[in-house]
Structure 1
């Protein structure tokens, strides 16, 4: 049995990013939230599609462009069906596309609320000398890595920083200063706790 406890964490953001739009109804810069519905407009052979957002203050709408003046024959039938049926998976994918949303709106508001699903891949908590966390992020989040680890492992952020300073905590592929950056998909965190007093508690907490 490996001396490394390998755990897979699936991290799911609870709140999609919100564009900050100058609302022409209630005035001023306002946060808009995803309405979870698409609007599809077919004009002859051309198709436009938007994901609808609503002002959190007055419910005014703003359209996030998904397709613009696309020839119908260039749009896959499955995609068109998903747009017309407000497919939740497609809504989720576009709602969490922070880069595209920022490109269209200019500014966005991101959130740190997440849920974490944990799956044991290899090893036994009672025998492991080190912990390896393999992170899968579904969507995007503003949550920093050190805050995620502190909340899920029961370690203080200062303790995590001390482990990092002593090279007993490593992050791949980000490396230096990764703890202070937002969580990214595909990160792997290794923590050597072989001689730490809180080793047992941390290894047990990592998978539940």
Structure 2
């Protein structure tokens, strides 16, 4: 694919997942949002750390356990300082850890909203006749691949389906069935556009 534009897309979810918890104030299951703050409790040599969540309706708090009864010596000083200062990057890494959230509460509300950073690999080729898109995920997302491609390439999902049926679109791994699944780390999408009337528009959208 010497005439292909190669682009790396980095996908970052925009809205943190919300655990669904039985709120003792509301008297029913409610979504809890991340407060952006840690609670660090030191008791002698032992440290407990939680990420604080609050009910979206009544502001009742719930603590998402990060460290429990951990020896202070087992936590790097830089990490402890980041926890105590509510470092935004550290908050984000835990707030988007949906696997850990599910282990603690079971049910989690997910959002498909995501930002996409596009980096052209090599030189921008406005006259390219094909695309090679490689996906990188900051954290797992629930955004379906066909919706991601349609949004970012500014074409319809039915158009993507038609390209697939004409063998002009391939996805590795998983093939065409990947279009109906959430975008995944390391996926490579190849689209042949020779002869497509809006080829330049799609190429431009792919490169950002």
TM-score normalised by structure 2 residue count? 0.94
User: Normalising to structure 1: TM-score of the pair?
Assistant: 0.94
Point out where structure 2 has 5 or more consecutive residues left out of the alignment: none
User: Bigger shift: 145-154 or 118-127?
Assistant: 118-127
Q: Is the 8 A contact 1:171 1:178 kept in 2?
A: yes
- Which stretches in structure 1 are left out of the alignment for 5+ residues? none
Aligned partner of 1:170 in structure 2 is: 170
The answer to whether structure 1 residue 126 and structure 2 residue 126 are counterparts is yes
SS of the equivalent of 2:139 reads coil
Q: In the alignment, what sits opposite 1:24?
A: 24
- Secondary structure at 2:118 match in 1: strand
Task: Report the Cα offset of residue 2 of structure 1.
Answer: 3.2
How far 1:153 moved relative to its partner? 0.7
Q: Deviations over 1:149-181 (max 9, x none)?
A: 101112111111122233321122232411111
- Asked if residue 148 in structure 1 is aligned to residue 148 in structure 2, the reply is yes
Tell me which residue corresponds to 1:77. 77
Q: For 1:1-208, what aligned pairs fall within 5 Å after superposition?
A: 2-208=2-208
- 1:69-89 per-position Cα deviation (integer Å, ceiling 9, x unaligned): 111111121211111111111
Distance in 1 (CA, whole Å) between partners of 2:42 and 2:189 is: 48
Question: 2:63 & 2:116 partners in 1: Cα distance?
Answer: 31
**RMSD of aligned residue pairs (Cα, Å):** 1.6
Aligned equivalents of 1:122, 1:174: Cα separation in 2:
27
Stretch of structure 1 that moved more, 115-124 or 141-150: 115-124
Instruction: Single out whichever of 70-79 and 1-10 deviates more from structure 2.
Output: 1-10
| TM superposition outliers: structure 1 runs of 4+ over 4 Å | none
The 3-state SS of whatever aligns with 2:70 is strand
Q: Per the alignment, do residues 196 and 2 of structure 1 end up closer, same or farther by CA in structure 2, a change over 3 Å counting?
A: same
